[in-house]
Amino acid sequence: MVTPLRNRMDPQASAPRFSWAGHRSQYGVADSDASPVQVSARQLRALQWSQGIIPALPHGGFTHHPSWAASARLRDLPAGITQLRDLYGTVYTGSLGVGTVKGAAEVELSVIFDTGSSDLWVSSDLCPSRACGPEPKPKFNRSRSETFRRPPTPRHFETSYGSGVIRGELGIDDVRVGPLVSPGQEVGLIAEEKGQVSFIPIDGIVGLGFPDLAAAGDPDMSFMGNLVAREALPSPRFAFYLHRHHQLGGGVLWGGEDSRLYRGSLRWFPIVEKSYWALDLVGFQIGNETFNFTTAHNLESGPEDLPPWLVVDTGTTFFTAEGAIYRRIRALAPHTACDQVHMLPSLTYFLRDHAGAVQRLTIAPEEYTVQGSPGRCLPAFVSIGDIAKRPIMIIGEVFMRHFFTVFHWGTGKRGHGARVGFAPARYDGQSKEFFSEQAAKAENSAIL
């Protein structure tokens, strides 16, 4: 998760098979080509370290190695599609334009689109090279932008991550994602980076969570909230499609979805708390062992009187669980030969829908395991400790490499009526046709 461990701000100093009950009987136990996905070597080391397979994680934990080898700048596909690329085998990034010079962006930056945070911050000319990691690193230049302005009252921010701290000040400028523009968007301009965060090979983060998760709960920091308020989207939603093979990347669809990217119908669940994209989790099952959260909380990760959440987070690689649930998953789904993964138990999340009925989201073992050492597979679960004020579980990138996931904002800057929809992702001729069309559109646009 890219979500900050702490945010503060004040005006002066800091601020493969998705499976429902019934869906399985229609399509079978798993896709014929379903198998545990591969993750990058760095992600695998992090997972192995968390499960005690290796004694220590090299280079200081869950951080990225310093690497600024030349890479092609990303470009957005037209028609509201942002191409995602696997950057250094670590994260998915897409292109963000900031500022204005003669009608175009002052700079195109490679950023993470993260539903687990709500701030928008970018590399800027406020940060000298000695304070922001190795060069070359693209940066937003305020003095070149024709639309940049400072807020009436100077505001500074500080955000702490597990791997370091970033500090800077807020500016106001136009921000572009493909054909979409958020004019007068508040942007955090980095002036200082401390710790290994300075070596993360990205130029910024676009938080797609709700305003209450942003520094000081400022709704003007919410990129998605601003797009919705300005009616810049045909529908107030965005969707993630991640390919099973991480080298092939994926895409963010702004304002809608395409049925060629998923099977069947989307199943929708309401957001129960306006910070994370959090769903009402009433129970969890692994094999025949069930944890009922309506009578007691078994996550050992929050006050007993608070309901648990299932958080859908594009900034988290793996699944997460805590306490007794994590221990049972480790015990009942051990490392195994990849050709024996089908013998592991399925997982089921029990979620409450709009009507108050409890629905099952069942995850086959091929969908929650990843390939490790040659011929061996392991469950893609980690324990990350307390990140919220209540019990929490997360489904992240590995989950979304099997499930097409739609985030519907609802209405207004604060997301009234927000919900999340899931459907099994397609990896066939139809999905290939969709991305081939987008590539052709991008090529034609470049020629024009």
Q: What percent of the chain has pLDDT over 70?
A: 77
Q: What's the rounded mean pLDDT across residues 207-214?
A: 88
The model's confidence at residue 159, banded by pLDDT at 50, 70 and 90, is confident
Adjacent-strand bridge partners of 81: 77, 253
pLDDT of residue 80 exceeding 90, the answer is no
pLDDT greater at residue 441 or residue 86: 86
Q: Which of 16-20, 36-40, 361-365 reaches the highest mean pLDDT?
A: 361-365
pLDDT at 352: 95
pLDDT at 437: 84
For the domain with range 6-447, which CATH number is right: 2.40.70.10, 2.60.40.10, 3.40.640.10, 3.40.50.150?
Answer: 2.40.70.10
pLDDT of residue 441 exceeding 60, the answer is yes
pLDDT greater at residue 61 or residue 237: 237
68: which 2 tokens? 């600024």
Adjacent-strand bridge partners of 419: 270, 408
pLDDT of residue 435 exceeding 70, the answer is yes
pLDDT of residue 76 exceeding 60, the answer is no
pLDDT of residue 260 exceeding 80, the answer is yes
pLDDT at 221: 80
Predicted TM-score (pTM) of the model is 0.85
**Phi and psi of 7, rounded to 5°?**
-125, 145
pLDDT digit string (tens) for 352-404? 998 999 999 999 999 999 998 889 999 999 998 876 677 889 999 999 999 99
pLDDT at 39: 79
The model's confidence at residue 6, banded by pLDDT at 50, 70 and 90, is very low
Q: What's the rounded mean pLDDT across residues 260-276?
A: 92
pLDDT at 438: 79
What is the signed CA dihedral for 220, 198, 99, 442, rounded to 10 degrees? Answer: -110
pLDDT at 7: 37
Q: What's the rounded mean pLDDT across residues 240-246?
A: 90
pLDDT, the chain, mean:
80
307: which 2 tokens? 């309901």
Helices (runs of H) and strands (runs of E) counted in the chain: 7, 26
Specify the long-range contacts of residues 19-26, CB closer than 8 Å, at least 24 apart.
Answer: 19/346, 19/361, 19/362, 19/363, 19/364, 19/424, 20/267, 20/359, 20/360, 20/361, 20/362, 21/359, 21/360, 21/362, 23/264, 23/424, 24/362, 26/264
pLDDT of residue 341 exceeding 90, the answer is yes
- Which strand (E) or helix (H) includes residue 400? helix 397-400
pLDDT digit string (tens) for 42-66? 677 777 777 777 665 444 333 222 2
Q: Are 116 and 315 in contact, with CB atoms under 8 Å apart?
A: yes
pLDDT at 436: 85
Burial of 430 (0-12, 13-18, 19+ CB in 10 A): middle
Q: What's the rounded mean pLDDT across residues 18-33?
A: 35
pLDDT of residue 23 exceeding 70, the answer is no
Choice among 185-189, 294-298, 342-346 with the minimum mean pLDDT: 294-298
pLDDT greater at residue 337 or residue 77: 337
pLDDT digit string (tens) for 310-337? 999 998 899 999 889 999 999 999 999 9
pLDDT at 148: 98
pLDDT at 11: 32
